[in-house]
Amino acid sequence: MNSELQEAFSKLTENDLEVFEEGLRLLTKIAENILKNPHNLKLRSLKKSNATISEKILAIKGGIECLKAMGFQEKDTVFEMDVDNPLKLLEEFIKASELWRTNKSTSAKVNNHVKISHPDHPSSSQIANTSTSNKEVIKRVILPPLTLTYTNPFLMSLERNSHSALQYEDKHLQDRAKKLIPVAIMEENAQRRLRLIQTHIKKSKLDDPEISIQDMLILELLRWFKQDFFTWVDSPPCESCGDPTEFSHMSNDRKLMQYTDRVELHRCKECKKFTPFPRYNDVNILLETRRGRCGEWANAFTLCCRAMGWDSRYVIDQGDHVWTEVYSITQRRWLHCDPCENICDTPLVYETGWNKKISYVVAYSGEDIQDVTWRYTGKHKEVLKRRTACSEKEFLDALLHIRNKLQKNLSASRRKYLMRRNLMELVEFLTEKTAKSEDRKGRTSGEEMWRIARGETDENGVQSQHVWKINPEDFVDNSVIIRYSAALNKYEYISGGRTIQVLNGWQNGIFESDKIFRKEEIDWKMVYLARNEGVEKGSISWKFDLADCKRTLQNVTVQIVQQTYETGNVGLKLCSSNNCIILPKDTEAFSMNDFAGASELILTATLSGGKGDTAWQHAQLFRQSSEDSDFNFCVTLTFEQ
């Protein structure tokens, strides 16, 4: 480590643990992004006005020094890295970061927390292998003793799960989680979502729905948690050689079970060595590791919701899936939130979309327990036949017993409020739901408003009306490129290698869309645009304005990844004011000079066809791995010199 880096890291470790860890994570991510895409000038410019950069790097001790050690230079409004800056400095920073985390973990103020090697790819065994002499650096969540009442295994699990939910009420944990959440940025984005809904309501003359800024913040938290905070792990990379591993068996090594009683062992496909993968339930540890499967995801997400001040519940389906519910104050009802899928308020997705056989679905919080099975099924009689773990009376008695224990120290007014809320929820459950999208939440306006807020479309289509306007000052050479990545969910407008504009969110770069949404498949790690479930056709278009660019269009090249299955169909059409061409099917790249001299272009994609209940998935745009960084939609406009 060179002296400049060493001095920068020394200053960085003068911060509290949360500040130190988050600052180092962001700095490492900046370095990694530039190394992955060294020609993207946008990544080399950090605006001082950016809330994340300002609050989590510039405002902390050693933050500016680390940027300078990486090669950034301070200017009036930005920290900028010159294109000639040697990438070796970034590589040294990343190596120094890893080395510092491994060998200097006690230098930071970590007296009350777990230290691990890297927040995105932590060593699976480091926490478990903490030496006895360092036990004082670990602070686990300490819960009151649990006394089990029941001998029935299912009823015992209710007691254990309810007891575990008490950890969400730990104020220290809530404070830790709150510091990690970019609240200011999310509030700004939530306001934008709300304005979008209000504009649509006014334009379409709809009734004003019962949706507040809290509801929009829930969507923002889901997006941030999935895209920026937590990582899905099927099998961890080999700790010895870094190659892929596969699950072998559960460990019985007590040394690995210091902080959990479940440790998976995954065997490397190359070197055959074993890598432990602890399955932590302690959210204090999960705030550090930030990885796992649905259990870890929902566990940490529920804590984040409580840190935001929302009433939240950890929901367990006996069919082996977990998620979160958040109480919407404005709508006066519980909203289903699945952080793994980044979906909100679609409770029938498991029964209808995943074909799960629902039996028991129970929600747990620090002050309540509730059987919420009936929110997640439209087949009450079938579900009742599968509920054989105990009698319905035994189940109800156990719920009441556990609830009374949780609420015995609450004020009379709080208990009364919770009782009224439970009764309203039970009334909701009396009506059997259907799989129809418009009936999914039992309200006629809810489905439409949520789809708009998520950037999806309603019955009449949402018009972004964004136009890619080509200006004379944009040109570096004789062409411009507008491209989109489904995995990154962003557009870039480029000329001669210079990034002119970046737009985040697929819907923010379109001209019009009708019944289209962006789908993320967690299990398959794929992402794409598709039409809404249950509709026969969806469409999307992009508009390009060339009227004022002071150059004559010569050629248009369209690269567009499309994937069809069964009888699915993707239709592509490119039009100017006086010409229209249907682009050939099953070809991902088209180049044409038919639009020479045009002043306006509109590219339209129509998705249709397919078979069965999943027909909507049989025509896809921009399908790619969620781990890719490629841009699989690209429009290149070439002009005469």
| Dihedral pair phi/psi, residue 77, rounded to 5° | -115, -5
Cβ atoms within 10 Å of 195's Cβ, excluding its own: 11
Parallel/antiparallel/unpaired status of strands 569-575 and 600-608: antiparallel
Between the CA of residue 338 and those of 296, 429, 452, what are the distances in Å? Answer: 12, 20, 18
The angle subtended at Cα 320 by Cα 316 and Cα 324, nearest 5°, is: 30
CA pair distance 617, 609, nearest whole angstrom: 9
CA pair distance 615, 611, nearest whole angstrom: 5
Angle, helix 17-36 to helix 63-70, in steps of 10 degrees: 20
CA pair distance 379, 389, nearest whole angstrom: 19
| Dihedral pair phi/psi, residue 308, rounded to 5° | -80, -5
Beta bridge partners of 292: 232
Q: Order across the sheet with 263-268: list the strands.
A: 245-250, 263-268, 274-278
Q: Are 125 and 276 in contact (CB under 8 A)?
A: yes
Catalytic residue among 294, 340, 344, 634: 294
DSSP string, 56-78: IIITSTTHHHHHHHHTEEE-SSE
Beta bridge partners of 225: none
Residue written as tokens 């004082």? 136
Beta bridge partners of 440: none
- Concerning whether 321 is annotated as a catalytic residue, the answer is yes
CA pair distance 581, 569, nearest whole angstrom: 17
**Segment holding 619, helix H or strand E:** strand 619-625
Q: Sign of the CA dihedral 342, 344, 419, 392?
A: negative
The 8-class DSSP code of residue 567 comes to: T
Cβ atoms within 10 Å of 115's Cβ, excluding its own: 23
CA pair distance 108, 283, nearest whole angstrom: 21
Which of these, 263, 301, 313, 560, lies nearest to 425 by C-alpha position? 313
CA pair distance 310, 218, nearest whole angstrom: 9
- Concerning whether 294 is annotated as a catalytic residue, the answer is yes
Residue 301 structure tokens: 């997400």
CA pair distance 626, 447, nearest whole angstrom: 26
Catalytic residue among 215, 338, 371, 514: 338
Residue 184 structure tokens: 């200011």
* Torsional class of 393: left (φ above 0), alpha (ψ -120 to 50), beta (otherwise): alpha
Q: Order across the sheet with 45-47: list the strands.
A: 45-47, 78-81, 72-74
Q: Alpha-carbon Rg of the chain, whole angstroms? A: 27
Residue 64 structure tokens: 């500016």
The angle subtended at Cα 422 by Cα 419 and Cα 427, nearest 5°, is: 130
| Dihedral pair phi/psi, residue 354, rounded to 5° | -100, -5
Catalytic residue among 163, 266, 321, 618: 321
Residue 25 structure tokens: 């994570």
- Concerning whether 243 is annotated as a catalytic residue, the answer is no
Q: Which residues does the annotation mark as catalytic?
A: 294, 321, 338
